[in-house]
Structure 1
């Protein structure tokens, strides 16, 4: 598992209501959306574009329809449904970049916590660089083990 930039999930809240939870690693941003009950899993859709995310129930206005804070690799990003949770994995185009929020212009992490996380991340990146770093360049390994 990749090293977390943030030690726990963060709540994304709008108008006092939790919209989703999220976390990030050096390579990806993960969103966790609690799905409404009594809706068949095949009714949900998720469209991941380089700089935009759309999530909703087919035939209805999207639940989320927003630009992302930074570009993602669409060929390595994906979503799954499990136990009434939609898990969206967005592969960062710029590895190691810290996102203040998945949604452009919304929310911000605690700057003191972010600074501490960046120091840890920088130390880890320096260690990997000095140790020669990963040697793999296959698509499967670049996309976190997912075969595409």
Structure 2
């Protein structure tokens, strides 16, 4: 699988460690930054990864910041994206199995390196199967579509 990773400066070290681990699992990793501990704002990284998922360049993404919250909020602003903050294996599995999340996020100030690797592996080892969850995701995506249409028509 082709996996996008991205981080802000708070999570640079964690991203680098998890990136190497994902590669060792046999996945191709595409790094969308940051590339040092120099301070950057996380929204741009989240938007880039989400956009690359939408255009099919990568299949899934893992984003890192201080808490994982900001990256999740930012990625979820991109239409069509479902990003879930995950700091445990069960949540990571359910993000994919129940929510078909294309992105998970983690916080470097919240989770340790070894736990982050386990979370990433759990997320990447499962595939959305549909079932009852597909109906719920369809409802979420329909609402997103309605909101986009309403927003586009607001200026009329």
TM range (shorter): under 0.3
More strand by share: 1
Of structures 1 and 2, the one with the larger relative CO (CA 8 A, separation 6+) is 2
More helix by share: 2
Length-normalised TM-score, structure 1: 0.26
Larger Rg: 1
